[in-house]
Structure 1
Amino acid sequence: MRRAKVIYRPEALSDLRQIYIDIADMSRSHVIANGFVKRIMTRCRKIGDAPNGGRPRDDLAPGLRTVPFEHSAVIAYHVTDAVEIVNVFYGGRDYEALFRAGDGEEDS
């Protein structure tokens, strides 16, 4: 099986920046924050190895899948030959409520 390309929506990149800021503030260490974000991005790349392996969440948005990561949930769409990282939710954010309220990125 061919590896799917992994791309990030602007919202996901914004989430990663905010996670970095939050971790750096809490830990007072840019090294720790950078390491955590790098681990998330490594996990995102691995989604390309098995793009249909995440938990289907069609109840939130058509084609949406979630993959847990430590204390985060990586939200991804499988779009033809690519995996599109939609959002990265961290720290107990209620992504289900956000998608149901229409604040998620369900329209593609």
Structure 2
Amino acid sequence: MVFAPQALAHLDALEAFISEAASATVAARFVDKLISHCESFSLFPLRGTRRDDLLTDLRITHYRCTTIIAFTVDTTRETVSILGVFYGGQSYAALFQPCKY
């Protein structure tokens, strides 16, 4: 399991957002459980919906209906890479669409 730097930044921003909206304890618990959920991908990595239209081998799945996790699976190296974590309706598609200019 590998978290891309951008995914780690997303987790930090999510924790800050929830801390402000609820409390630091609630935020830490949510993010810890989200990370544990991501770590469970090693047991069944090919879950979620493929989004090859955005990025080859990209997969999207949800956590608690409020958070989208974008990841890829390298089956040859048996590695799951978390590319992004998007909360509360944030658009993940824009991050993976190729630049048109």
Question: Matched residues, percent identical?
Answer: 31
- Corresponding residue SS for 1:87: strand
Shift of 1:30: 0.7
Shift of 1:48: 1.2
* Alignment match of 1:83 (pick from 72, 76, 80): 80
Q: Which ranges in structure 1 are unaligned for 5 or more consecutive residues? A: 1-5, 103-108
- Alignment-derived partner of residue 96 in structure 2: 99
Render the CA deviation track for 1:29-57: whole Å, top value 9, x for unaligned.
Answer: 11000011011101101111111122111
Distance 1:54 1:17 in 2: 23
| Length-normalised TM-score, structure 1 | 0.83
Matched, 1:72 2:64: no
Distance 1:34 1:101 in 2: 34
Distance 1:92 1:73 in 2: 8
Distance 2:79 2:11 in 1: 20
| Root mean square deviation, CA, Å | 1.2
Distance 1:91 1:53 in 2: 21
Distance 2:54 2:98 in 1: 10
Query: How many residue pairs were aligned?
Result: 96
Shift of 1:100: 2.1
* Alignment match of 2:9 (pick from 14, 20, 24): 14
Letter in 1 for 2:87: Y
Matched, 1:49 2:46: no
| Length-normalised TM-score, structure 2 | 0.89
**Segment drifting more, 92-101 vs 82-91:** 92-101
* Alignment match of 2:53 (pick from 51, 56, 59): 59
